[in-house]
Amino acid sequence: MTTITDVARRAGVSPVTVSRVMNSAAHVRPETRVRVEQAIAELGYLPNTVARSLRSKRTRSLALLLPDITNPFWTTVARGVEDSAQALDYTVFVCNTDEDPRKQQRYLELAVSQRADGVLIAACHSDAAALRVLREREVPTVVIDRRIEGWDVDCVLGDSTGGARALVQHLIALGHRRIAAISGPAATSTAEDRVTGYCRALAEAGLPVDDSLIRRGQFRTCAGEELARSLLAEAGDLTAIFAANNAIALGAIDAVLAAGRRIPHDIALVAFDDFVDCSHLFPFLTAAVQPAYDMGCEAARLLLARLAGSGPARPQHIVLPCRLVVRHSCGSRLHAGAETLSLPSTVTGLPLPGYRG
């Protein structure tokens, strides 16, 4: 493969000069520059990023660690990250941790080994210990969608507590009194924040918080199904379920239907997170929708600002608001009220004409 030396030879200059031309540094005579650029074009020369990175100690790459790229929420976050990064000629490599601490650890070490300039991570544990690899080496880091205890690091998250509270308030307003919560792992701040929001809504309405109605598992469909199943079996007077993310909601739907109950007639369901495209199509699931794309953009922008040395002095904690999108799974046919914002096209309160199942 052609190297900078080949280009230099062809242009009749030294490699340094070629380097200067490529990095558009000063002190190159216009005519020399043209000669070099011509040589580059003629040879189809593409610089070796690896060598460049070794010497300059910057790779222009970011590592993005998230639970599962298959979940539309994370996909959208990833897209936001990539778009922001690409605008500044940064490369993003995506790692699926599957919320597995060991996989996460492996990928973090990989990110350090690869000398990623920065890391964006939806940590699977809110304890800072898991991020020691990054902290020790002072790798610029932005945490997405999670809070971290014990490390004051940049983070970008959705308003989990507020979103959960709004969803449960909505259920309460519809007359529900026995509302269960199916959340993620207790070690995840996001899961706990959503439980907090759930409890707060109940407390504010003067309703008791029944611990037996709060279940925790993985942020996964199978966990959602299992927990919903046991809830339905054990709590006979249950009338509504709050699912702490979209995957859990899917599982819960399966469990409810499998138990011979109907949604929303017998069991109302609300969920955190959405299904982007699908929700647009099937006006079904009432959800607190996080601005996933913006979260990705913001996180990447913050990280890139730090890399450019132009970031804010103190670590930032950016909390983006959620939209409450009222659809049919909670039984409400009403437009959203004062506290809520809705997707204009989907909150018609009516099924799409033509689809009757």
Partner DNA sequence: AATTTGAACGAAAACGATTTCATGATATGC
Partner DNA sequence: GCATATCATGAAATCGTTTTCGTTCAAATT
Instruction: Work out which of 50, 308, 313, 338 binds a copy of itself, going by CB under 8 A.
Output: 50
* Residues 198-217 within binding reach of a copy of itself (CB under 8 A): none
| 113 binds a copy of itself, rule: CB under 8 A | yes
Please report, for residues 97, 146, 193, 288, 338, the alpha-carbon distance to residue 162 in angstroms, rounded to integers and kept in the order given. Answer: 27, 15, 9, 9, 15
| Nearer to DNA (CB atom), residue 72 or residue 118 | 118
| 263 binds a copy of itself, rule: CB under 8 A | yes
Kindly state the tokens that stand for 6. 């080949």
Contact pattern from residue 133 through residue 172 relative to a copy of itself, giving x for each residue in contact according to CB under 8 A and a dash for the rest: ---xx-----------------------------------
18-26, 42-50, 193-201, 336-344 -> range binding a copy of itself (CB under 8 A): 42-50
Q: Using CA atoms, how far apart are residues 35 and 353, in angstroms rounded to an integer?
A: 66
Q: Using CA atoms, how far apart are residues 211 and 208, in angstroms rounded to an integer?
A: 9
Going by their DSSP bridges, the two strands 141-144 and 118-121 should be labelled as parallel
Name the residue with tokens 């970031």. 311
Please report, for residues 175, 221, 235, 241, 254, the alpha-carbon distance to residue 330 in angstroms, rounded to integers and kept in the order given. Answer: 11, 19, 19, 9, 16
Identify which of 266, 223, 267 has the alpha carbon closest to the alpha carbon of residue 244: 223
| 344 binds a copy of itself, rule: CB under 8 A | no
Q: Using CA atoms, how far apart are residues 329 and 347, in angstroms rounded to an integer?
A: 12
| Nearer to DNA (CB atom), residue 55 or residue 262 | 55
Q: Using CA atoms, how far apart are residues 67 and 98, in angstroms rounded to an integer?
A: 4
Tell me the CB-side half-sphere exposure of residue 18, using CA atoms within 13 A. 22
Identify which of 68, 70, 77, 64 has the alpha carbon closest to the alpha carbon of residue 289: 77
| Binds 14: which of a copy of itself, DNA, none (CB < 5-8 Å by kind) | DNA
| Binds 20: which of DNA, a copy of itself, none (CB < 5-8 Å by kind) | DNA
| Nearer to DNA (CB atom), residue 26 or residue 313 | 26
Helix (H, G, I), strand (E, B) or coil at 18: helix
Name the residue with tokens 């000398």. 115
Kindly state the tokens that stand for 89. 């000629």
144-152, 187-195, 202-210, 242-250 -> range binding a copy of itself (CB under 8 A): 242-250
| Nearer to a copy of itself (CB atom), residue 90 or residue 242 | 90
8-16, 107-115, 119-127, 164-172 -> range binding a copy of itself (CB under 8 A): 107-115
| 266 binds a copy of itself, rule: CB under 8 A | yes
| 78 binds a copy of itself, rule: CB under 8 A | yes
35-43, 94-102, 144-152, 229-237 -> range binding a copy of itself (CB under 8 A): 94-102
Query: CB of 37: closest distance to DNA in angstroms?
Result: 12
Question: Given the rule CB under 7 A, which residues bind DNA?
Answer: 1, 3-5, 12-20, 22-23, 26-29, 32, 45, 47-48, 51-52, 54-57
Q: Using CA atoms, how far apart are residues 54 and 52, in angstroms rounded to an integer?
A: 5
Handedness of CA 93, 99, 101, 102 (dihedral sign): negative
| Binds 186: which of a copy of itself, DNA, none (CB < 5-8 Å by kind) | none
| Binds 17: which of a copy of itself, DNA, none (CB < 5-8 Å by kind) | DNA
- Give CA angle at 342 (247, 178), nearest 5°: 55
Q: Using CA atoms, how far apart are residues 66 and 78, in angstroms rounded to an integer?
A: 9
In one-letter notation, the amino acid at residue 60 is R
| 350 binds a copy of itself, rule: CB under 8 A | yes
| Nearer to DNA (CB atom), residue 8 or residue 121 | 8
Query: CB of 246: closest distance to a copy of itself in angstroms?
Result: 8
DSSP string, 10-32: HHTS-HHHHHHHHTT-S---HHH
Q: Which residues contact a copy of itself by CB under 8 A?
A: 1, 44, 46-51, 53-54, 59, 61, 68-70, 72, 75-76, 78-79, 82-83, 91-96, 109-110, 112-115, 136-137, 221, 246-247, 250, 253, 256-257, 260-266, 275-278, 280-284, 328, 350-357
